[in-house]
Structure 1
Amino acid sequence: MPDQRHPPGHRQTGTAELKLPNGKKVELPVYAATLGADVIDVQQLIKAGYYTYDPGFMSTASCSSDITYIDGAKGELLHRGYPIEQLAERCGFLEVAHLLFHGSLPNRVEKTEFDRRIRYHTMVSEKVGQFMRAFDSTAHPMAMLICTIGALAAFYHEGSDVGLVDSRYDNALRLIAKVPTLAAMSYKNSIGQPYMYPQNSFSFVENILYMMFGTPAEDYRPDKRVVKALETILVLHADHEQNASTSTVRLAGSTNANPYACVSAGVASLWGPAHGGANEAVLAMLDEIGSVKNIKPFLKGIRDKSSGKRLMGFGHRVYKNYDPRAKVMRKICHDLLPRLQQEGEEMDESLQIAMELEKIALNDDYYVKRNLYPNIDFYSGIVLRAIGIPNPMFTAIFAIARTVGWVSHWRELHSDPEFRIGRPRQLYEGSKKRSVPARGAAKKKAKKAR
């Protein structure tokens, strides 16, 4: 199966002239983007003895890509040109996976074949289970995922031959299929229950719930409402352009590392509380607030910068408008929670706190003027808790979804004609060149001084 190829070259729209401190001028090509800002190619600067300085890479395009586009000002997220809101409403997770992976939504035959390929790769070696059992029950699921995903390279040696297109395809599919199995095993390990093998009669999302919550003692059938909610969460988290974890996967991939090592590196990056761990931080904040009556004092403390408190789950580094994924997640949240309550499910007080916190923040000029709208992490954490997924598993669920984006970018990287090993530069501000004193020189100097 061939990789998605980039068209050769870039469409140049002009040049930018830069006057350097030494008086020289450099002409830099300007390339057109399909959507969003055009880019200035600064590669010629190195010949003039200069680099660009861009902490956090917020003004740097490290690659060209045709997978995902974000317009933070408009609050827009497109996968291969399709708005995320439409994908979440009209497509299942594996259809979106096919879109990211292949560049197009599948027809009926393609959908069946793609689903079949994923379905029959979900099993893992029994030795992986033995490896997983070596972890203490208190181990974080993400720690176990990092290790076991990386360990898959020991079972699929052809994964190291990234030069073969078919090998890249097969190993990318294996990762999409096996990460949910590993995530579910990490959960079972934490609660001391036996692992549940994936069932080919279940859908991709049903299998995640079955492997997490099923037991050998009874016949488990996932609730359709929970399946729908979880599927939407996976769709919304599938890819998000050149974020920290995706950039990590690309950087690791640029060394020709095998895909299991690259995705393991992505999981490690995702684990950070400023990235994939943000929804766990939201629930920790709600637990800290403790009661609806404590919301206003808590928000008052947020405005006091010296307090060190942060409003988790609000605002976004990229979106300066409402996160489009949050709009979809908000609807799921507001539809699902009342239904669960009506059927006798006891709502955790933290969920009541979240609903009241959202109401206050959306109607407070202080937060609205600062574009501190609830983001996807705010709502996804609430929904995941409501359907029974424990906090430590939140980021693991995120990793299941984002694996699709990671392997899509990994494959794209290897089909890029400008592919090269990543090597960021730096602004060096340390000591200038100096000599190490000869042995005994310090003692001789001290003796002479006496």
Structure 2
Amino acid sequence: MSDLKATLSLNDGRQYELSVHQGTLGYDAIDVQPLVKNKLFTYDPGFMSTASCESAITYIDGDEGVLLHRGYPIDELAENADYLEVAYLLLFGERPTPEQHRDFTKLIKNHTLVHEQLTRFFQGFRRDSHPMAVMCGVSGALAAFYHDSIDVTNQSHREITAIRLLAKMPTLAAMCYKYSTGQPFMFPQNHLSYSGNFLYMMFATPCEPYVVNPVLERAMDKIFILHADHEQNASTSTVRTAASSGANPFACIAAGIASLWGPAHGGANEACINMLEEIGTVDRIPEFIARAKDKNDPFRLMGFGHRVYKNYDPRAKVMRETCHEVLSELGVNTPLLEVAMELERIALNDPYFIEHKLYPNVDFYSGIILKAIGIPVSMFTVMFALARTVGWIAHWKEMYNQGGFKIVRPRQLYTGEKQRPFEKMEKL
């Protein structure tokens, strides 16, 4: 807390002095907690102007297009680190030494298996269930396998919980896919990398050997890194809200997955591919561009612009390069990808897009990559959940490490009926 003070003056003569908190970077925050004693609340739909916590994990400057994890720029992390190195950084605050990275990777690999009983849990779902519905269910079910053994007030318990979640999410995600196709589940292979193992569990079968393509493996690793954390977004805030009640951490992550499922959040890359399929062919692009520019038309171009970034999404630049690497490696050339590439060209050159800062975002490119790799559109948000799990865990862990948090209890501006009598009805 700084020496800065803010004064709130109401036109009825009431006046309140409020403290101001200053972070390392970014905006200052006015502490409005004292207002409640005077029967005043702040009104902030969507909490767009409210800092709900203090955090040292991720910093975003949307105006400048900056994303830092523990002070490190996201593009440098994506180019120079693997996903587990970034995961360690998010969880523990500093990048690992080579020895710590080796031991951390080994520890993760030792926890990749899920309980055999959990494999039978899948049989309760229809084969055509949306994978995110299944993911919500099976991740929440982990709470039943790790319930009595977890004391969230115990730091060592929190550490092993973080390891278990990080290790098992790729296994669960791949099982969701395999179940939808009717293929057998593939056990994790601990000699493979985190991303390589995930691709193996997704696409290998017992019938023949499967060799992980290193270009696709690195692309998947970058997708995981670029989606690992994004500050206090809807799903992360949901995890923190659930955790504030002392809930089982696996249940908290399941709550985060449920929040992520929405098309305005994690489902954006799925919505982007659906849009590309709606456009269909390159010759129809001008029609949809015109519709996007028409304020009276409800059509919106998905995968362009960002709620936070008013500049180029720093993750999108890395994802763009990776996208072209994957397409080149696979030699993919479909109408859908032709539409995507032409839309990208227009967005980067059209004055309207530039003026309105409608740059292609990370969802635009990640969707194209996932589609090219062979991951079905219905699995896109599951990929996001898998990558974001480490961010959720890091915030959950930070929250308990800081201590002193309160159960989340937003207030409301009541606009309903005033008190009125309820008289007994004469029944017919």
Same fold per TM (> 0.5)?
yes
The farther-off stretch of 89-98 and 146-155 is: 146-155
Identify the residue that residue 294 of structure 1 maps to in structure 2: 284
CA distance in 2 between counterparts of 1:273 and 1:316 reads 13
Equivalent pair of 1:314/1:373 in contact (CA under 8 Å):
yes
Equivalent pair of 1:313/1:375 in contact (CA under 8 Å):
yes
Identify the residue that residue 17 of structure 1 maps to in structure 2: 7
CA RMSD of aligned residues (A): 1.2
Pairing 1:62–2:52 present? yes
Gaps of 5+ in 1: 1-10, 444-450
Match for residue 123 of structure 1 among 107, 110, 113: 113
CA distance in 1 between counterparts of 2:142 and 2:417 reads 44
Identify the residue that residue 260 of structure 2 maps to in structure 1: 270
Query: By how many angstroms is 1:181 displaced?
Result: 0.4
Identify the residue that residue 410 of structure 1 maps to in structure 2: 396
Identify the residue that residue 138 of structure 1 maps to in structure 2: 128
- The 1:404–1:216 alpha-carbon spacing in structure 2 relative to 1, beyond 3 Å, is same
SS in 1 for 2:283: helix
Given residue 90 of structure 2, which amino acid in structure 1 is its aligned partner? Answer: L
- The 1:352–1:13 alpha-carbon spacing in structure 2 relative to 1, beyond 3 Å, is farther
Equivalent pair of 2:215/2:329 in contact (CA under 8 Å):
no
Query: By how many angstroms is 1:348 displaced?
Result: 2.4
Query: By how many angstroms is 1:382 displaced?
Result: 0.5
Identify the residue that residue 143 of structure 2 maps to in structure 1: 153
Identify the residue that residue 367 of structure 2 maps to in structure 1: 381
Equivalent pair of 1:68/1:239 in contact (CA under 8 Å):
yes
Q: Which has the larger radius of gyration?
A: 1
Equivalent pair of 1:270/1:276 in contact (CA under 8 Å):
yes
CA distance in 2 between counterparts of 1:147 and 1:400 reads 14
CA distance in 2 between counterparts of 1:436 and 1:228 reads 66
Count of residue pairs brought into register by the alignment: 428
Match for residue 395 of structure 1 among 381, 390, 394: 381
Match for residue 97 of structure 2 among 77, 83, 107: 107
Identify the residue that residue 325 of structure 1 maps to in structure 2: 315
Deviations 1:200-257 (A, max 9, x none): 1111111100000000011111100000100000000000000000000000000000
1:236-247 alignment, distance < 5 Å: 236-247=226-237
Given residue 435 of structure 1, which amino acid in structure 2 is its aligned partner? Answer: P
Identify the residue that residue 202 of structure 1 maps to in structure 2: 192
Identify the residue that residue 249 of structure 1 maps to in structure 2: 239
- The 1:159–1:86 alpha-carbon spacing in structure 2 relative to 1, beyond 3 Å, is farther
Given residue 377 of structure 1, which amino acid in structure 2 is its aligned partner? Answer: D
Deviations 1:27-59 (A, max 9, x none): 100111100011110001111110000111110
Identify the residue that residue 28 of structure 1 maps to in structure 2: 18
SS in 1 for 2:4: strand
Equivalent pair of 2:303/2:362 in contact (CA under 8 Å):
yes
Deviations 1:371-399 (A, max 9, x none): 11111000000011111111111111111
Deviations 1:336-357 (A, max 9, x none): 212322xxxx422111100001
The farther-off stretch of 361-370 and 290-299 is: 361-370
Identify the residue that residue 423 of structure 2 maps to in structure 1: 437
TM-score by length of 1: 0.93
Equivalent pair of 1:158/1:167 in contact (CA under 8 Å):
no
CA distance in 2 between counterparts of 1:414 and 1:204 reads 27
Identify the residue that residue 355 of structure 1 maps to in structure 2: 341
Query: By how many angstroms is 1:161 displaced?
Result: 2.2
Query: By how many angstroms is 1:283 displaced?
Result: 0.3
CA distance in 2 between counterparts of 1:55 and 1:230 reads 36
Query: By how many angstroms is 1:21 displaced?
Result: 4.2
Query: By how many angstroms is 1:303 displaced?
Result: 1.7
- The 1:137–1:209 alpha-carbon spacing in structure 2 relative to 1, beyond 3 Å, is same
Query: By how many angstroms is 1:439 displaced?
Result: 4.2
Query: By how many angstroms is 1:169 displaced?
Result: 1.2
Identify the residue that residue 448 of structure 1 maps to in structure 2: none
Percent identical among aligned pairs is 56
CA distance in 2 between counterparts of 1:406 and 1:288 reads 33
CA distance in 1 between counterparts of 2:365 and 2:46 reads 26
Query: By how many angstroms is 1:160 displaced?
Result: 4.6
Given residue 155 of structure 2, which amino acid in structure 1 is its aligned partner? Answer: V
Match for residue 284 of structure 1 among 232, 253, 274: 274
CA distance in 1 between counterparts of 2:272 and 2:149 reads 37
TM-score by length of 2: 0.98
Identify the residue that residue 8 of structure 1 maps to in structure 2: none
Identify the residue that residue 447 of structure 1 maps to in structure 2: none
Equivalent pair of 1:198/1:211 in contact (CA under 8 Å):
yes
CA distance in 2 between counterparts of 1:110 and 1:13 reads 40
SS in 2 for 1:306: coil
Query: By how many angstroms is 1:418 displaced?
Result: 3.4
SS in 1 for 2:296: helix
CA distance in 1 between counterparts of 2:316 and 2:296 reads 29
Identify the residue that residue 187 of structure 1 maps to in structure 2: 177
Gaps of 5+ in 2: none
CA distance in 1 between counterparts of 2:329 and 2:247 reads 47
CA distance in 1 between counterparts of 2:403 and 2:373 reads 45
Identify the residue that residue 446 of structure 1 maps to in structure 2: none
